[in-house]
Amino acid sequence: MNKLKIISGILYFAKWVTVAIGIVACAMILSMKGEPMIITSPSIGIADEQLQKSLDDVLNSFEGITLTVEHISAQVPSTYSLQIISAITLILKFGFILWVLQIIINLVDDVKNNKAFRSKNIIRLKQMAWLLILTPVIFSFIKFINLIAITSVYKLPDSLTYRWVDNTNFDSITVGFLIYAIAIAFNEGLQMKKENELTV
């Protein structure tokens, strides 16, 4: 039980540290008007085959290693729309972390108080599962909005083009489905417990 108290304390501490870091980070993003921002999504690709060949020739001027330029990160002056998108992305990321932390805190507290098997915890597990499953979809949508915002403000020469970069993390989707399966198992266990109580 003491171990659960320590875990609960660490989780509460992590929760408030996350809140503090999130507020500071958002304030910094919203105050950097005109400051350069590094853009990794979308990346910049080379549309001109001749330019691509020239760069590859320069990179591969020595033997043993083959190098190629496919994606280029860009640094652009921040605009109000880019700041808002960055702040929303950050808020969603920290909101996700806080929500998951709060669910874990509630679960640990219930285990500590011998209330693990109850319907509220099944709902919490399902919430966590759907958060993990839908997060990649939500962030892919934000990247798409970011792509539209950048391409409409910053035009590239014909030799370069914007490229969609979306490294979807399927690990979170897999973990989400596993947690959902655990929630279903919890629900079955709760139903069996209720049936046993009625039988007795």
62: confidence class by pLDDT, cuts 50, 70, 90: low
Residue in 172, 113, 110, 185 with CA at minimum distance from that of residue 140: 172
- Is the pLDDT assigned to residue 1 strictly greater than 60? no
Write down the pTM of the prediction. 0.68
Is the model more confident about 35 or about 92? 92
The per-residue pLDDT for range 68-83, each reduced to its tens digit, is 666 677 777 777 777 7
The per-residue pLDDT for range 7-32, each reduced to its tens digit, is 777 877 888 888 888 888 778 777 77
Contact present, 6 and 108 (Cβ < 8 Å): no
- Please name the residues in contact with 32: beta carbons below 8 A apart, sequence gap of 6 or more: 78, 83
DSSP string over 39-57: EEEEEEEE--HHHHHHHHH
Is the model more confident about 77 or about 64? 77
For 22, 23, 37, the CA distances from 78, given in Å and listed in that order, are: 19, 19, 6
Query: What is the structure's pLDDT at 79?
Result: 74
Query: What is the structure's pLDDT at 200?
Result: 58
Mean pLDDT computed over 85-90: 80
- Please name the residues in contact with 179: beta carbons below 8 A apart, sequence gap of 6 or more: 125, 128, 129, 132
What percent of the chain is modeled with pLDDT above 90?
Answer: 5
Q: Is the dihedral of CA 116, 92, 29, 156 positive or negative?
A: positive
Backbone angles phi, psi at 76, to 5 degrees: -125, 155
